[in-house]
Amino acid sequence: MSPVLIAMLPFIGALLPGLLIRSGRDVAATACGTTTFLALLGLVLHTPAILNGEVITAHIEWLPLIQLNANFRIDGLSLLFGILILGIGLLIIIFARFYLSRQDPIGKFYTYLMLFQGAMMGIVLSDNILLLLIFWELTSLSSFLLIGYWRHLPAGRQGARMALTVTGMGGLAMIAGMLILGNIAGSYDISGILQAKEAIQASPYYLPALILILIGAFTKSAQFPFHFWLPHAMAAPTPVSAYLHSATMVKAGLFLMARLWPVLSGTPEWFWIVSVTGLITMLVGAFIALFKDDLKAVLAFSTVSHLGLVTMLLGFGTEAAAIAAMFHIINHATFKAALFMTAGIIDHEAGTRSIARLGGLRKLMPITFAIGTIAALSMAGIPPLNGFISKEMMLYETTHVEHARQAFMVIATIAALFSVGYSFRLIFQVFFGPVRNDYPHKPHDPGFGMWFGPGLLVVLVILIGLFPNTMAGWLVDASATATTGVAQHAHLSLWHGMNAAVIMSIIATIGGAMLVIQHRPLLAAWNAAPRPEAKSIFDAAVLFLVRGARAITDNLNTGSMPRALAAFTLATIFCGALAWFSGHPGPADRPMLPIYPVPFINWLLILTATACMVTFHRIRVLALILISIVGLMTSAFFAYFSAPDLALTQASVEVVTVVLLLLALNFLPKRTAVETPVVRRSWDAFIATLGGVAFGALTYVILRGDFTLPSISGYMLENSYKGGGGTNVVNVILVDFRGYDTFGEITVLGIAALAIFALTQTLLQGNSSKRLRNWKHTQSRAGDRHPLMLVIITRVLLPISLVVGLYIFLRGHNLPGGGFVAGLVVSIALVMQYMASGYAWAQERRYIPYHVLIGAGVVAAGVTGIGAWFVAKPFLTSAFGYVKLPFLEKFELATAMGFDLGVFLCVVGAVMLMLNSLSRIARHAGSTVNRKPMDIDLSDEQSKGAH
């Protein structure tokens, strides 16, 4: 099975619960379980090839210009984590089916769970760090949904926010580190990065990249000081805790460190940062777990401790330590997932997770007792279980550390001692002791569906402990080989002889047992001792940041548009001035062009209109006229500089916008009130002048400078015909070279028109509608609302305008024109009908809703672009050819015409929908205005055939 399909199967499974939940919980669970099993089967089928040293890859070009490709790989490390994600995920799906109550929307739960599963599989299968980052952030989002699944619980909502905040901030740091790493290696593909160890470690940016990447890994894997989010995430349902916080999400950081181990390890920076962080985390997590009362809190802090153990091993940077790390990842996933599900069973059946309220469950829940005890003994590192072997390997590696060996040995032994302590406490205080009569519920073993998953994991705990090489040696070898980049052959054994590690283990076991015996006075001392509370620190930090951000925002964003524009303009000028005075613009070698009378007069008109606009801008109609003069003069400049496409477009846009703005101004005051003092206006004038001078200077330097870099216009001119099939470079750029930009622009244009329509709907209802009906015109209106001459002329011109629009549309690929200009021309023709004959008359003769035109335009452009996929070309790649029909000359056909048709439809639909909206407001406002005798609406007569 292709790695791409394996990565996509969980996402496909995420669609099924919503579709099948009405068929029952069993059907939804079966669908998710089936897709997970298929992905697991497809992954396991690659095992023989992986064990032979092969790497299964799949490459899909996505955005090659930025090296963001959908590249996937399966090696030993991917195989290990993929088996954990999918295998334990399958057990969690079964467990959740029986754990969640009828009141819990299980379809939503399975959707979130499968999304998370897909994100994790994307991380471990990605062969591109940019793609990995996408999946990395998706794990944060999907885990947020899972942790906050019980959103009626305040603890669940807060735990979800805390997890998203910490892991999300770490993810942002990791993005920066990954970009630096890819830039150093010259590739964003992981396979390429793994070949660039010397270049990466020799780079001056190695340390910043390392720190930023490790921040992302440490926050995701709950390393000190970011460990506090994990225990608060225990407010999630137990299936979430068993999956995310034992086998998958918290191990994503471990996976990342293992994946980049070949190029980042082996330096003093790596050793001290990673190993010391892991050692501290292992100690702190184990110590806190010793005093927690909630079963899941004990398991959460123990998870933090074991994650620190693996981090420390990876930080040692030796091949033997990497082998021990891979083996402990397997062992931890088995016994910790079993323990989390055991805690869920106890909570489900006894009604509490408080250790103080439990005890005596050995007799009441014998199956649960057997499962929980074996898993806890493995967590404590007691032989002959699998946790014992990897714990011994960890202790043995601390005796071979090159730096601070004694410190590592002592602290690791103390952490192991605490681990034995909380594990023994969990066994004896929950399962042993007398049977109580004050349990919230009468405890009993659950049905097969709930204990099957943890029971199977406990069987693996025993088998791996007894037969480590047979059961797990092959997987450890494959994953360690992928981690170190060197073929590994681990020799896993339950007994390696008497050595320092065994002595350290004996000390830890005896010391842990003593801690359980003396737990009550130790607990009293813990409760009495002052200590920092991570949650309080986090809440205070968040509150401080929120208040600071609010203060800055309130002072900067006061709702004043002039103030915001002034700040933006000054910041832009400052950045430009900094670049100007710190750079070298070069000499002005290009000669000045001669000044001719016609363009000089045009320039004077623009300057005069602009000056008048500044002076008389409070008279709104006059300001609109002056703006239109500037626009028309600009279109004349376009024509003078041989840009007829731009000139035609500019002129058409001016006509449309002036008409629409005139309609809008009809409902606004005729003058703008003076709201700012003279000092403020003088300051604004100074900023505007400064900005104008700055941009004028920049323009002067660009036009006079002799730049050696090739212009992109040369490429466009050379490839317009042979690449896009058109000689009109502007149109080819719009519909081919930069077609994706145009597609986004017409989509935004359509959305803007729909937004105006929605606002109009709101305006025509409620109190706003009443105010419109009572609105009185401030000026007398003409008696003849629809002059007969104008009506006749516009109806004669309509078919001519439509033919002109069609002609401009058809010629656009090779001559000035195209869909955008044609759409504006047709829109102007239709606007004239509204102006001449009235809203009612025009609406009665409209056969296609304007919403449909917008949707049809976007669909037409999109379908044209998608068509390129069927010939293995990028989106919106055009094709063209020549056709010869009888009695006709040979002519060209290009697929870009379909895209241009979409532009045409979207422009016509958007313009007319805006006009439609404003006309409806006008008609609504004028519905109760008293008309003069001569104020005859010809639309009524004309609809009866008077003309």
Per-residue model confidence as pLDDT tens digits over 87-102: 999 999 999 999 888 8
DSSP β-bridge partners for residue 72: 58, 126
The pLDDT value recorded for residue 945 is: 37
pLDDT category of residue 488 using cuts at 50, 70 and 90: confident
For the chain, how many structural domains are there in total? 2
Question: pLDDT tens digits for 555-572?
Answer: 777 777 777 888 888 888
DSSP β-bridge partners for residue 882: 892
Q: Which helix (H) or strand (E) holds 92?
A: helix 76-99
The listed range with the strongest mean pLDDT (253-262, 672-681, 889-898) is 253-262
Distance of alpha carbon 425 from alpha carbon 517, whole angstroms: 9
How many DSSP H helices and E strands does the chain contain? 43, 4
Distance of alpha carbon 156 from alpha carbon 543, whole angstroms: 19
Phi and psi at 237, nearest 5°, equal: -55, 150
Give me Rg for the CA atoms of the chain.
Answer: 36
The pLDDT value recorded for residue 351 is: 86
Last residue of one domain, picked from the residues 524, 544, 574: 524
Last residue of one domain, picked from the residues 502, 524, 546: 524
pLDDT category of residue 717 using cuts at 50, 70 and 90: confident
Tell me, yes or no, whether 80 lies in a domain.
yes
Tell me the two tokens of residue 852.
């449909």
Q: Which helix (H) or strand (E) holds 107?
A: helix 106-125
Tell me, yes or no, whether 530 lies in a domain.
no
The pLDDT value recorded for residue 930 is: 42
Q: Is the pLDDT of residue 913 over 80?
A: yes
Question: pLDDT tens digits for 240-292?
Answer: 988 987 778 889 999 999 999 999 998 999 999 999 999 999 999 999 999 99
Query: Is the model more confident about 531 or about 403?
Result: 403
Tell me the residue length of the chain. Answer: 947
pLDDT category of residue 933 using cuts at 50, 70 and 90: very low
The pLDDT value recorded for residue 661 is: 85
Last residue of one domain, picked from the residues 524, 559, 583: 524
pLDDT category of residue 769 using cuts at 50, 70 and 90: low
How far apart, in Å, are the Cα atoms of 482 and each of 51, 179, 264, 489, 658? 11, 23, 14, 12, 66
How far apart, in Å, are the Cα atoms of 132 and each of 122, 354, 481? 7, 39, 21
Q: Is the pLDDT of residue 946 over 80?
A: no
Q: How many CB atoms within 10 Å of residue 102?
A: 7
For the ranges 26-35, 145-154, 367-376, the lowest mean pLDDT is seen at: 145-154
Q: Is the pLDDT of residue 439 over 90?
A: no
Q: Which one-letter amino acid corresponds to residue 175?
A: I
Block residue for tokens 């009235």: 838
DSSP β-bridge partners for residue 908: none
For the ranges 445-449, 485-489, 625-629, 713-717, the lowest mean pLDDT is seen at: 713-717
pLDDT category of residue 667 using cuts at 50, 70 and 90: confident
For the ranges 74-78, 556-560, 900-904, the lowest mean pLDDT is seen at: 556-560
Tell me, yes or no, whether 864 lies in a domain.
yes
CA 339, chain centre distance (Å)? 33
Question: pLDDT tens digits for 731-768?
Answer: 888 888 888 888 888 899 889 888 888 888 777 776 66
Q: Is the pLDDT of residue 932 over 80?
A: no
Tell me, yes or no, whether 543 lies in a domain.
no
Tell me the two tokens of residue 598.
């016609």
Tell me, yes or no, whether 711 lies in a domain.
no
DSSP β-bridge partners for residue 68: 63
Tell me, yes or no, whether 199 lies in a domain.
yes
DSSP E strand stretches across 783-867? none
CB 51 within 8 A of CB 60: no
Q: Is the pLDDT of residue 840 over 80?
A: no
Question: What is the rounded average pLDDT of the residues 14-20?
Answer: 87
How far apart, in Å, are the Cα atoms of 315 and each of 167, 205, 225, 262? 21, 20, 17, 12
Question: What is the rounded average pLDDT of the residues 776-792?
Answer: 66
Q: What is the mean pLDDT of the chain?
A: 86
- % of the chain at pLDDT higher than 70: 95
The listed range with the strongest mean pLDDT (321-335, 634-648, 789-803) is 321-335
Is this structure's pTM higher than 0.75?
no
Tell me, yes or no, whether 346 lies in a domain.
yes
The pLDDT value recorded for residue 776 is: 60
Tell me, yes or no, whether 583 lies in a domain.
no
pLDDT category of residue 214 using cuts at 50, 70 and 90: very high
CB 314 within 8 A of CB 258: yes
Q: Whole domain around residue 797: which residue ranges?
A: 727-947
CB 654 within 8 A of CB 631: yes
For the ranges 137-146, 428-437, 843-852, the lowest mean pLDDT is seen at: 843-852
Among 206, 180, 70, CA closest to 126: 70
CB 464 within 8 A of CB 386: yes
Query: Is the model more confident about 840 or about 486?
Result: 486
